[in-house]
Structure 1
């Protein structure tokens, strides 16, 4: 939400304003002027005094309107408000416009027009009647897009007109707003992970609320500490109040990997395989943040959304809503990459234990399948949703969402310890999410020494 800067719609210097006003003559004004000149010429040739007076009247009327409109000083402030400023694809947002007359004179007829990208709908235009001195007018319109992106709204244009419609002047405000259209998300059921049921991890490594290694050495009492934490033996030893250090559970981590390679997807549009992968990744991010995980969004080129830590994870200190908004803003504009492999993402992931890994892959050849298989960390769970873009281009030939027979890609991923799920055309991600849980509850060919990705099914 942003407000336009109040600005005058008066003339500036007289010469430039008069020239602009003459250029702003409407079809009616130009017709009157041309008819008046023609009548005056005919009256001079024919010697008709009455026709000359009519011609002068026709020619002078638009010029008088131009002069009056040019010398009338209006000060009008415009503002715009989006509700909301971030919407999912296919949803509507309402844009509220407000005009305030800051001058001491009432305005004439005003035409209000906002600049809107074509993808959001037709350009809105409003006709405002006379606005009294100090008065205001409020109007609104709706915008909607089926495509993700960041769309500028504005600048707001105000068109002034004289009562006879002979001349129109257009003034623009400098302020504009941005509508962010994010991917549509689906509500997902809660998944209980091995040792990570609450998102904070049962049996995980723990870290101190302050700094340093966990030990039994107490620290000095600080204002606000609970007196029940006082360590009396150390207090007697050091001669001052000492309290026990308390542990704070380390937040479970989740990395969402989105394959954006151009060669991995075919087709385009809201129903394409790539848009499905983006929407599914957004649903996963929101779900894991709501569960209390520290989440990182990673793409195939190794770039991630900046978090509050150097490792790129968000949500550890930020609120889940702020973290989700940051992720969604990134997914709103994510596009295909020109890379041909997943090696950069693998280099990022192999740096350490990243906890849960959720991956959304496009077409994988044998080489990239091997790279993806190595991404799975032995100490963390890994779930892969693999799309077949050719099947998406054909539109699929099945009504259900059951996967096609396992191919070599899924087999290699499962042998490496992944929970791999094929994504048929038009599948609902929430159903595939449940299918991944059911698949993992059965026999799982995890890698030697590894752990199965899921346990306990769904709650």
Structure 2
């Protein structure tokens, strides 16, 4: 509500009414008293229609898409329901936005017709919003400034509560891992290599009492002249691991406060989800973990596009955490284990860190190290131990850095 409820026109009417009243007594002009009373009564009636007559407003918002990514346009639709026995004149509206939201969230609020009794009338408002920061951001509340039909009085009301918009990190399209065929590659590669061998991957074996008759392999039985049954070939799903180092020591203080505050950490988050999305498309079952081995999201099966969407949504809230940056737990996790691609994304990285991770490349079919802020010769030392390295500072071309690291000559990237 405004401290002064009158518009410029209403203020002028009050001033003119008072002036007419004074002049009527000064010059004994009775007609001016009528003018004065008329103006002041009109202004008072205008205030009554806005502030005394009961009126309620509610707002519901919807977003398309429901979950946005940074830099992606979002269509915001607000439905305002007005319950009032009197018409509502044209006014103005404005939706409150969090920092980092780019939108023209304001406009003219249309007039609504009068109704008999208290009737409900709806007003639809729409605008485009471009979120610039990852996180869970409030949109609203809606502020409506309305005037009476004469334009003498105004009333500013806050309508409804803010609606929360989830802004996920943007996943950059990364190049394929074409150099990893067969067992070293994902299931997408394996499927291609198995063409002509049958889709069911079945191996016949000798019949054992108790086997179901439905499992009898009649062709093999006829060929060997004894009962054979189908036995499913045991296959292992190729796996990949993506590590996002959330240790506060790797980032600035802003990275712990809220998503979107530290440009370096945002570059790392984008690299992490982009790498995970690429590996899922390659057919790997992808696990995303922190440096201490704790899972940052549910594992995603190969080819599961919906799983990638869930990963992006869950990463809307990820921030740096205050804990040790010692990679020893990660090294222990892979001791005696062989895995597919291993992607480590970290921030500040020096020679000591390179030495601490030296044992990991030998446990991975494709060890990738993506560093936001490398120090001195840290990437060269890491590359010497088997890592394929790339520097990915904020604003860099992530796709090009990824391609250079994946390439067999990628160890020289960013060194």
Alignment partner of 2:68 out of 78, 87, 91: 87
Query: Deviation of residue 276 (structure 1)?
Result: 3.1
Question: Contact 1:98–1:138 (CA<8 Å) still a contact in 2?
Answer: yes
Match of 1:279 in 2: 270
Corresponding position: 1:172 with 2:163: no
Query: Deviation of residue 76 (structure 1)?
Result: 5.2
Structure 1 residues 389 and 34: CA distance shift in structure 2, 3 A = farther
Match of 1:183 in 2: 170
Match of 1:322 in 2: 306
1:211-250 equivalence runs, <5 A:
229-230=215-216, 246-247=232-233, 249-250=235-236
Query: Deviation of residue 162 (structure 1)?
Result: 0.8
Alignment partner of 1:383 out of 368, 371, 381: 368
1:55-454 equivalence runs, <5 A:
55-70=36-51, 72-73=53-54, 78-100=59-81, 107-121=88-102, 124-132=105-113, 136-169=122-155, 170-174=157-161, 176-193=163-180, 195-199=183-187, 229-230=215-216, 246-247=232-233, 249-261=235-247, 263-264=249-250, 273-300=264-291, 302-307=293-298, 313-315=299-301, 320-339=304-323, 341-343=325-327, 346=330, 349-350=333-334, 355-376=340-361, 378=363, 380-388=365-373, 408-423=377-392, 427-439=396-408
Query: Deviation of residue 255 (structure 1)?
Result: 1.6
Question: Contact 1:43–1:51 (CA<8 Å) still a contact in 2?
Answer: yes
Distance 1:422 1:158 in 2: 49
Distance 1:64 1:426 in 2: 59
Question: Contact 2:70–2:133 (CA<8 Å) still a contact in 1?
Answer: yes
Structure 1 residues 56 and 440: CA distance shift in structure 2, 3 A = same
Query: Deviation of residue 46 (structure 1)?
Result: 6.5
Question: Contact 1:101–1:135 (CA<8 Å) still a contact in 2?
Answer: yes
RMSD: 4.4
Distance 2:37 2:15 in 1: 11
Structure 1 residues 439 and 347: CA distance shift in structure 2, 3 A = closer
Distance 2:378 2:60 in 1: 55
Query: Deviation of residue 283 (structure 1)?
Result: 1.5
Match of 2:201 in 1: none
SS at match of 1:95: strand
Between Structure 1 and Structure 2, how many residues are aligned? 379
Query: Deviation of residue 384 (structure 1)?
Result: 1.1
Question: Contact 1:302–1:344 (CA<8 Å) still a contact in 2?
Answer: no
Structure 1 residues 187 and 101: CA distance shift in structure 2, 3 A = same
Distance 1:424 1:154 in 2: 34
**TM norm structure 1:** 0.66
Distance 2:60 2:353 in 1: 51
Structure 1 residues 44 and 87: CA distance shift in structure 2, 3 A = same
Query: Deviation of residue 379 (structure 1)?
Result: 5.5
**TM norm structure 2:** 0.72
SS at match of 1:374: coil
Distance 1:217 1:38 in 2: 112
Judge which range, 134-143 or 281-290, deviates more. 134-143
Structure 1 residues 389 and 413: CA distance shift in structure 2, 3 A = closer
Structure 1 residues 441 and 26: CA distance shift in structure 2, 3 A = closer
Query: Deviation of residue 284 (structure 1)?
Result: 0.8
Unaligned runs of 5+ in 2: 192-205, 219-227, 255-259
Query: Deviation of residue 178 (structure 1)?
Result: 0.9
Question: Contact 2:238–2:284 (CA<8 Å) still a contact in 1?
Answer: yes
Unaligned runs of 5+ in 1: 1-19, 204-214, 222-226, 233-241, 308-312, 391-406, 443-459
Query: Deviation of residue 185 (structure 1)?
Result: 1.2
Query: Deviation of residue 180 (structure 1)?
Result: 1.0
Distance 1:345 1:161 in 2: 65
Query: Deviation of residue 131 (structure 1)?
Result: 3.1
Structure 1 residues 108 and 300: CA distance shift in structure 2, 3 A = same
Query: Deviation of residue 343 (structure 1)?
Result: 2.8
Structure 1 residues 301 and 162: CA distance shift in structure 2, 3 A = farther
Give CA deviations for 1:203-254 in whole Å, capped at 9, x if unaligned: 9xxxxxxxxxxx9989886xxxxx863479xxxxxxxxx9856356332222
